[in-house]
Structures are given as C-alpha cells and as structure tokens.
Amino acid sequence: MNPSAPTPSPSTPAQRPLVLGSTSRYRRELLQRLNLPFEVASPDVDETPLPGEAPIDLAQRLALAKAQAVARQFPQAVVIGSDQVADLAGEPLGKPGNHERAVTQLRRMRGQTVVFQTAVAVVCQDSGFAQTELAQVKVKFRDLSDAEIEHYLRTEQPYDCAGSAKSEGLGIALLSAIENDDPTALVGLPLIRTCSLLQAAGLRLL
C-alpha cells in the first residue's frame, strides 16, 4: 500500500429524498438555486381562511398543512410546504385570479404598507420532524394612478400572485420600499429560512 495515499473516508449515508409540496413555478425556480435534486407534488389543500383568522396565522397553518399533506404521500422524504398571504391592515389578500380583482387589490394597496407573510414548513413523516418558520416582508406601494395600475396588469398579468404584483419583474415599479431579512421571501419561498429548516431535518446543503 502506498503510505502517502489518503485514508478512504467512511461512506456518507444517503440523503432522504426532497419533495417540494407546491406547484408554484416561482417556488420551484427558487428551490433550484440550492442545487439539490427534488420532486414536485401538489398538496391539494383548501386555502380558505378560517373565520376571523389573521393573515400571519393563515400563512403558517397552510404552509404546515401543505407539507403534511405531501408528507403523507412521501413518508420517507423531507417535504417543503410554503404559503404567502398579503396582509393589508390585518386583512388577508390572496391571489386575485383575474384582472378585475387585481385592479381592486392594487387600488386598495396604493399608498399603503402591506406585510407579505411568507411561511415555510419542513416535514418528514418518517423521522417525526416538523417545523415552521415565518418571514415578514414590509412593502410600501406608491400612490399609483388608475392608468399605472391598468398598464402594469395588462403588461405582466400577475393574477397568480398574492397582492397582484411581481417584485422580481415590472412590479418593482409599483413600490417605493421593501424591508425584509430574507431576500427571496417576497417571491414566495424564504430561502434563508428554508436552508435552516432543511439542515435541521438532516439534509446536507454544502
């Protein structure tokens, strides 16, 4: 044996599979930044707010419910669930779904500060791991004219986004300030918090 040859290291145990419990293309694109193989599964969870439910509670409940729903399909896997709710003075604003509702949302938000409550949950049914984190992003909207709102919506059509705006696109022109401590949270998945949870669940990122 060559005495200068390095000693073989013990084999590294295989990682659990990773599943993103979301069909959002925005979350999928963000998770790809971590360079981890993962599958995507639909959580099929009713997102209707409970009577009197605060936006912060709604986001955290749905993120965990989505992760748990997919974890039941993939009990050996580490599953990510996430949810975002636009919080306008304590009122939850969801995805508009169409042009008319998006116009109504942006008219209500102009000149206002909206808190985007973005929750992420990581669950592994086999190990019993289940934790949730919350990122809060304060967004100040400009005092937009009706013409500016109409132009923006016709151009970007952000009808699948909570709050009717894509900050990563032309929607940044609607805003005067963003305050947050997790830069991707506003897009839909707070990666700093996600990394922390994945490592706590036993995945190696680096």
Distances (CA, A) of 157 to 161, 166, 172: 9, 9, 14
Residue 153: strand, helix, or coil:
helix
| DSSP designation for 1 | -
Q: DSSP of 118-151, one letter per residue?
A: EEEEEEETTTTEEEEEEEEEEEEEP---HHHHHH
Q: Are 160 and 168 in contact (CB under 8 A)?
A: no
Contact yes or no for 188/82 (Cβ under 8 A): yes
Q: 27: which 2 tokens?
A: 């979350």
Active site residues: 83
